[in-house]
Structure 1
Amino acid sequence: MSRSIVSERYAAGLFKAAQDNGALPEVHADVLELLKAIQNDRGFLELMSLPQLSLQKKHALIAAILPGANQLLLNALYVMLDADRMEELPSVLEEFHELANDAAGIAEATVYATRELTEQERTRISSAFAHRVGKQTLHITTIIDPTLIGGIRLQIGNRIFDSSLSNKLASLRRTLIG
């Protein structure tokens, strides 16, 4: 998803406020929950865009829908609502997530494998590849891809590490054919 300068600024502001108040883990957890909810159901954003609802009612709805959310996140939502920037919310939340992960030395990684990985395999992959991208650990998402035949393909950002059997066979084929 492409991000605007506006969403980057809102995310940076929320990140700095959370960091300054020592609430980064709590706000990050709330951001992830809200992001997951918005990705699964766009109803919240549609509700916030209704012109029939006053700003006061929208503020009350946010407080009612997110009763346990950190006040810093709520305040950011109110500011975005007042500035008519709620369409930027998914981008703001994603950008905040990236900032929080970066501060914690975590990178998002996708592992393509022929089967679900064990926790031990995830840990080994994380420790083996995290330092290659300058991070302390990887948050791994596994995608099952039977076309790999064996091995794994790992994607961290725009970097791909491919040790799959299908890739090795393709490389061998290119070498033999010329």
Structure 2
Amino acid sequence: MVKDGKAITTVEAYVQAYYNRLTDSKTADRLYLDLSQLKEAFNHADSDAGEQPNLDLAVKYLAPDTLRFLEGLQDNLDNEGILASIKAFNELYENKKVLVNVKLTSAVPLTAEQKMRIMNKMEKRIGEATFFVKEVVDPTVIGGVRLESENHYFDNTIATKLKEMKRHILTD
């Protein structure tokens, strides 16, 4: 039985939302690997002969994050729904050139709009990427923000500016 377009659209929307909520690139990498292995279980089953994939064996080795992802499919947790979700996730994952873990430190919690503006500026600096942002509230920075990733560091905090001013005054 072929699913209607509405069900597939629902699966794709779920996958997009889940992907956008991932907290780090390692989770995305693990999901991609697990879903690729799950897809292989479907590919090895001969559907023309009525053979079903051995999902019990495939699911046994999935990471907890992958199982949570699959549980979220709810009404679409059948062969077609699983395959549609795998396809949608893999397209998102493979179309992003760079996965970047970012630690965003500020003195107070930021609004969604503030985070979006900051991450848009970060994207302009390093190019198109999927950002996995871990937000840290640290009152000792006094104000401003600090962005840290594996390859980039941007510190525009008041605490750092005060340290630089002190160092500058003491060296003159």
User: What TM-score results when the alignment is normalised by the length of structure 1?
Assistant: 0.46
Larger radius of gyration: 2
User: What TM-score results when the alignment is normalised by the length of structure 2?
Assistant: 0.48
